[in-house]
């Protein structure tokens, strides 16, 4: 391999793509509920199309991306929020993370041959198998990391998220997810609804406890009436969709939050990782005089001359 064969990009050449209204927070005047409507638009296709995966796995990753963007937007934190599932099924790893600024990325490790043995539309349970799902807020090395872990028990990613809300967050919630190919490429969406027990430090009261319970049940039922087609429809604005679903409960949309293509790999960062390997390991990685590292998030190759690695030159 000649020196000219070594790419010199400092970071992944990924699309500079931001969807300014990807996450639309809202609340319901007639029910003790707030939520997030996530519609990733072309960003979903930009992330998902970088990986050659079976369609059911691509759809599952799309759901994970939309869910992660919505949950991250609902939290107050600095750093990153991630969803990570590990199981013994054909999809051994599912990962999506989003920064506080809305930089989103994700990938899945999959045995495509094993997926091919399943039915045409396998559930998340069939794809992931037995294992666990972790939701993590990582605010950097100087801050305590928060993590909630639930077993992979449930047919869908929505089911798993309900379990996390109930056990780790101890709140009632409704979650609806969808991801599918469209004539304009892959699209992914999430509708998250969370019951409000307290507001401003005081119990939120809009009536008797029975009336509040009934209003919450109505909100959940209306959220469940959303179809995948309308949730994935780029021509249907978030405001129109929220009104269509919740008009009897007075939906109030709030300021939208942007989400962008968020792969954060760089040549310098990967070089520092390589410097941590021993000589034998680096030699084993070498092929035709170079070491190639592929970013799992953006599927971009970074190549390093073997002579530049192991003596402080890899990051340059």
Is it the case that residue 122 has pLDDT exceeding 90?
yes
As annotated, the residues of the chain forming the CATH 3.55.30.10 domain(s) are: 21-261
Higher pLDDT, 6 or 220: 220
Determine what percent of the chain is predicted with pLDDT higher than 90.
59
For residue 301, what pLDDT is reported?
74
CATH 3.90.1280.10 domain position(s) in the chain: 265-308
267 touches 9 (CB < 8 A): yes
Cβ distance 138 to 84 under 8 Å? no
User: Do residues 250 and 219 make contact, with C-beta atoms less than 8 angstroms apart?
Assistant: no
Q: Could you report the per-residue pLDDT of 45-83, keeping only the tens digit for each?
A: 999 988 889 999 999 999 999 999 999 998 877 788 999
According to CATH, the topology of domain 21-261 is Hsp33 domain (3.55.30)
pLDDT for residue 142 is more than 70: no
**Dihedral angle at the C-alpha atoms of 49, 54, 58, 64, nearest 10 degrees?**
-140
pLDDT at 144: 72
Q: What is the pLDDT of residue 9?
A: 57
Render pLDDT for 282-309 as a digit per residue (tens, 0 to 9): 888 888 888 887 777 777 777 888 888 8
Write the class of the CATH domain 265-308: alpha beta
């Amino acid at each position: 391999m000649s020196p000219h064969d070594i790419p010199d990009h400092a970071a992944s050449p990924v699309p500079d793509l931001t969807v300014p209204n990807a996450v639309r927070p809202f609340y319901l005047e007639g029910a003790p509920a707030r939520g997030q409507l996530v519609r990733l638009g072309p960003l979903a296709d930009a992330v998902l199309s970088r990986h050659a995966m079976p369609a059911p796995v691509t759809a599952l990753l799309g759901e994970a991306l939309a869910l992660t963007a919505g949950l991250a937007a609902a939290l107050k934190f600095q750093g990153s929020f991630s969803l990570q599932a590990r199981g013994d099924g054909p999809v051994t790893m599912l990962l999506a993370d989003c920064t506080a600024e809305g930089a989103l990325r994700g990938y899945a490790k999959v045995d495509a041959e094993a997926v091919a043995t399943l039915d045409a539309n396998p559930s998340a349970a069939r794809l992931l198998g037995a294992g666990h799902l972790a939701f993590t807020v990582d605010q950097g090395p100087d801050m305590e990391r928060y993590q909630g872990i639930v077993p992979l028990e449930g047919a869908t990613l929505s089911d798993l998220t309900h379990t996390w809300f109930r056990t780790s967050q101890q709140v009632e919630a409704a979650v609806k997810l969808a991801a599918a190919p469209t004539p304009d490429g892959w699209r992914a969406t999430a509708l998250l609804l969370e019951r409000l027990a307290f507001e401003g430090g005081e119990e939120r009261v809009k009536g008797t406890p029975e009336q509040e319970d009934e209003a919450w049940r109505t909100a959940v039922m209306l959220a469940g009436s959303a179809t995948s087609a309308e949730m994935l429809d780029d021509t249907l604005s978030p405001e129109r969709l929220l009104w269509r679903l919740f008009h009897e409960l007075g939906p109030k949309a709030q300021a939208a939050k942007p989400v962008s293509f968020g792969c954060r790999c760089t040549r310098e960062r990967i070089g520092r990782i390589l410097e941590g390997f021993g000589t034998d390991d680096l030699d084993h990685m070498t092929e035709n005089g170079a070491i190639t590292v592929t970013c799992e998030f953006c599927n971009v190759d970074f190549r390093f001359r073997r002579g530049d690695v192991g003596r402080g030159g890899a990051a340059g």
